[in-house]
Amino acid sequence: MLIFRTKSDIQRHLNAFNSAENKIGFIPTMGALHQGHISLIDESVKRGLYTICSIFVNPTQFNDKRDLENYPRTLDSDIQLLEKSGCNAVFVPSVEEIYPSEDTRKFSFGNLDSLLEGKHRPGHFLGVAKVVSILFEIIKPDFAFFGSKDYQQVLVIKELTKQLNLPITIVPCSIIREKDGLAMSSRNTLLSETERKAASLIPELMKKVKEWKGRGLLISEIKQKIETELAKNPIYKLEYFEVCDKTTLFPLNELTPNIKPIALIACFVGKIRLIDNLEL
């Protein structure tokens, strides 16, 4: 596996490609890789694509400096995982390489900027859009793979690709879960043993949401049940739980046959913020 640290080096490598014969699959990450990331690599490799992963902890998408400082960085083990995965190349740029000067661009994603993650993490999706657009410009992939745990982010990146008129197919991939159902996340490594055990309640509740929906409970009743369950233990702090239209992410007040619903949650377990979703 080839390792590149500068734009000029990886672009020189990619310029030698015959694009008609070599399609590129790209997986942008912030490192601290786990099997969820590897599943994205696997999907690209399975399609016969020249597979490139990037590892870059993007400062512009953090609205909490402590979160940026505490984000796990495990580059050596990340490289080892990628070498075993069949990844062809990894791009590991510095902050200065990605942002040689201040990026003052603005993007608008309509209501996605103000709902759910957009509401609770102001500026987050602007930072995501900046770094993804820069990486897309450097790599020029044919396909880009993203995990569906960050469901709202996938919708934002699809919209970004559309706005910039980029010839890139965005491929959402299934959530990969631990044995107890917890969605795999780099942040899981920051949980204490007690917090990790407590975190398993989140996927359990999401399964119950589907069960409660099947029993005909109203969305307001489901939300109340979620809040009641999490309030039983002070280790949890619910930031939001919503049942939304899968396409627009507008919160729903009722379930109707013509709308495909998705349940989304953000919850602190101790000081670690976890998210999850489940199509209903």
Centroid of chain to Cα 185 = 9
Strand 89-91 to 169-173 pairing:
unpaired
Helices (H), the chain: 7-15, 35-46, 65-70, 75-85, 95-98, 117-120, 124-139, 151-163, 193-199, 201-214, 219-231
124 is catalytic: no
- Catalytic-labelled residue, pool 34, 37, 120, 124: 37
Long-range contacts formed by 209-213: CB under 8 A, 24+ apart? 209/243, 209/263, 209/278, 209/280, 210/263, 210/278, 210/280, 213/255, 213/261, 213/280
Determine the 3-state secondary structure of 155 from DSSP.
helix
First to last CA, the chain: 40
Q: Tell me which residues are annotated as active site.
A: 37
